[in-house]
Structures are given as C-alpha cells and as structure tokens.
C-alpha cells in the first residue's frame, strides 16, 4: 500500500519541479524584457513627439504658403532689410507703371482671374499670345502691372528658392534688371531682398541667350562668361533656371524679353 502511494507521489514531484523551473525561466525572461520594453516605450514617446513637431512645422509652412509670406525656416538666409514695396518707392521713377511690385498668392493650379483684368493684347498667331492679365494682387489687393512676373522656383549654381513663398521678378528700368523680391508680410505688403550672396537678380546686359519651354513652364537664362560680379565662392555666378506657375505669366515674360531684343530659342521640355 505504501509503495503504491510513493509511486503516485513521485510523478507529482517531478511535475512540481518542472513547473518551478518554468516559472523561474518566465521570471528571468520578464526581467530581461523589462529594459527592452522600457526602451521601446521611450522610443515611441520620442517618435510621437517628433511627429507632433513635424506636423506643427508643416502646418506653419502651409500657413505661410497660403498667406503668401515666407517663413524664416524655409528661406536660404535671413533678409538684409525689410523693404516696403509699393507706389511710394517708385514715385520718383520716370517710367510710371513699370515697377509696381506685387504679392500674388494664387495657387499653382489656379489661373489668373479675369476680374479687374488689364488689357495687354498680343495677336493670337503670336507664340507668346496673351490678351488679359490680372492687375490686382489677390494676396494684398495692391495693383500689379505687366512688368511683374510671378515665379514658382528660381535656381542658380549655388542657391534654389523655396516653392512655398510668393516671389517675383520685377523689371527695374533704371538698372535694366529683373529684380527678385519675396513677400514677407501682407498688411501692409512688405517685401524682402536677400543678402547679396543670394543673388536671384538678372541684369539684361548679362544675358547671352534665353532658352524656353512653355510646355515645361521653364526658362534657362545663359549668362555671358565674363558678365557681372563673381559669386561668394569667387567663381562666375553661372546660369539661371526659373519656372513659372502658369503659361500666361510665362508668355508675358517671354514677350517682354523678345521686345528687349534678347536672343531666344525654344527647347524641348
């Protein structure tokens, strides 16, 4: 009878010992997992915070793009000065109407509104044909002229402008220059000029040839080899690439350049 009892207890003891070993292994595994799980939790928290910051930054940039202003975080450099642009700046200039600066804030998909449109008729059989253009800036409500051209992006050998800002070339007759300006504020319209080392201006006398493609909405301005001042790295400034938000703006620009006897050539997109 005692032998039968002992024979029944022996397997139970083995099971208990096995269960204790398994329990110890589980405890050891849990102790090993705790640091790893803690690290995972910290990583998730960090990633969540980074995502939140990225979203906030994106929203800030988008707000800057929608209201036409240039957030400092997306610009190559800070502005040298605040330059208020408008009628007062050009009152002393002899060619009235050629230098009204603009701050258009239309989206890239949006065509220029024909509301308050100004005439600028070019015959339909002309490759740079345009009939009207908006003479009221949708961003600031200020007047604009056919001597202002909205840019999408401009690129030189050393710098590229940001696509999310309101940027223009404006013809300045005294210096015979396409002057680059970017909008900083809208109430009132305040424009910035970059520091000298970030030079998106183009002087008429420096242009060797202008290659263009309306289909690509892009111009390639080939500069003369010995034209203008050297860049900050003591090398020639090089060529300029510029893209436009819409074909109508680009046609106005090309028509103006042709009227100034710039050598021009159409290129494939």
Task: Give tens-digit pLDDT for 28-85.
Answer: 777 777 887 888 888 788 777 777 766 665 555 444 444 444 444 333 333 333 333 3
Q: Coil, helix or strand for 106? A: coil
- Are 39 and 134 contained in the same domain? no
**What six digits make up the tokens of 265?**
């050539």
CA 14/CA 237 separation, integer angstroms: 86
In the block, tokens 């050598």 appear at 263
Question: Same domain for 47 and 150?
Answer: no
Residue range 121-134: average pLDDT? 65
Indicate whether 88 and 60 sit together in one domain.
no
The most confident of the ranges 70-74, 144-148, 168-172, 188-192 is: 168-172
What secondary structure letter does DSSP report for 140? T
Q: What angle do CA 116, 168, 129 make, to 5 degrees?
A: 55
Q: How many domains does the chain have?
A: 2
pLDDT at 235: 79
Q: Is the pLDDT of residue 216 over 60?
A: yes
Higher pLDDT, 33 or 119: 33
Q: Is the same domain home to 131 and 31?
A: no
Range of the domain at 14: 1-66
The segment with the largest mean pLDDT, out of 38-42, 154-158, 214-218, is: 214-218
| Partners of 194 in the β-ladder | 79
Question: Pick from 21, 46, 66: which residue ends a domain?
Answer: 66
Other residues' Cβ atoms within 10 Å of the Cβ of residue 75: 17
Claim to verify: residue 26 and residue 113 sit in the same structural domain: no
Same domain as 81, residue 53: no
Cα distances from 113 to residues 49, 105, 117, 119, 170, in angstroms, run 42, 12, 7, 13, 20
Query: Phi, psi at residue 97, to the nearest 5°?
Result: 95, -15
pLDDT at 141: 66
């Amino acid at each position: 009878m005692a032998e039968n009892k002992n024979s029944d207890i022996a397997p139970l003891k083995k099971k208990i010992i096995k269960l204790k070993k398994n329990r110890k292994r589980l405890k050891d595994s849990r102790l090993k997992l705790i640091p790893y799980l803690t690290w995972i939790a910290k990583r998730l928290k960090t990633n969540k915070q980074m995502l939140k910051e990225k979203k906030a930054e994106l929203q800030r940039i988008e707000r800057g793009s929608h209201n036409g202003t240039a957030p400092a975080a997306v610009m190559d450099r800070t502005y040298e000065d605040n330059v208020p642009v408008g009628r007062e700046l050009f009152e002393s200039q002899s060619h009235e109407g050629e230098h009204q600066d603009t701050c258009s804030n239309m989206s890239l998909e949006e065509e220029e509104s024909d509301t308050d449109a100004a005439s600028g008729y070019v015959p339909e059989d002309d490759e740079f044909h345009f009939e009207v253009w908006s003479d009221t800036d949708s961003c600031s409500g200020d007047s604009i002229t056919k001597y202002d051209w909205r840019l999408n992006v401009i690129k030189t050998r050393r710098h590229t402008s940001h696509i999310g800002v309101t940027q223009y070339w404006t013809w300045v007759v005294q210096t015979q220059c396409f002057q680059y300006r970017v909008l900083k504020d809208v109430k009132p319209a305040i424009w910035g000029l970059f520091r000298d080392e970030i030079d998106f201006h183009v002087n008429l006398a420096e242009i060797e040839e202008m290659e263009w493609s309306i289909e690509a909405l892009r111009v390639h301005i080939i500069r003369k080899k010995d034209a203008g001042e050297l860049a900050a790295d003591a090398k020639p400034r090089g060529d300029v690439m510029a893209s436009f938000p819409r074909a109508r703006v680009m046609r106005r620009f090309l028509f103006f350049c042709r009227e100034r006897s710039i050598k021009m050539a159409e290129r494939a997109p």
